[in-house]
Amino acid sequence: MSDVLNYNPDCLFCKIIKGDIPSNKVYEDDLCYAFYDIDPQAPTHFLVIPKAHIQSCGAVTAEDAALVGHMFQVIAQVTKELGVTDFRVVSNCGAQAGQTVPHLHFHVLAGRDMTWPPG
């Protein structure tokens, strides 16, 4: 179980970080948590989330800059560990963009050809 900064009792991902909802962990440190998506959209599909409850990319502040940079460093490290060289990082911000869980997360997708532009 981990502590969540600004824990939001209504937030699915806060509950996952706390361990109240089980998840398939890929990586964890003091600042962030990574786990496989329950509904994978590619052969490899995991999510990287901050342990602090931040609503979305649109809520990131200057104070979060180091945290967000760290999350990208984690993405680089974990993909290397998984032997993944080609991948896509996606963050949906807001319902129209497809965000369904209002806790900042980066999707990391790999293992198939990706189309552009995304749908």
- Near Zn ion in 14-43, by CB under 5 A: 14
Q: How many residues does the chain have?
A: 119
Binding Zn ion (rule: CB under 5 A), the pick from 8, 55, 56, 92 is: 8
Binding Zn ion (rule: CB under 5 A), the pick from 53, 67, 71, 110 is: 53
- Of 38 and 76, the one with the shorter C-beta distance to ligand 5GP is 38
Write out the E strands in 10-74: 25-28, 32-36, 44-50
If one asks whether residue 49 binds Zn ion (CB under 5 A), the answer comes out as no
- Active-site choice (45, 53, 103, 105): 105
Residues 6+ apart with CB under 8 A from 89: 72, 75, 106, 107, 108, 109
Give long-range contacts, CB 8 A cutoff, 24+ apart: 61-64: none
Structure tokens at 44: 């490899």
If one asks whether residue 56 binds Zn ion (CB under 5 A), the answer comes out as no
107 in active site? no
What residues act catalytically? 105
Residues near Zn ion (CB under 5 A):
8, 11, 13-14, 53, 103
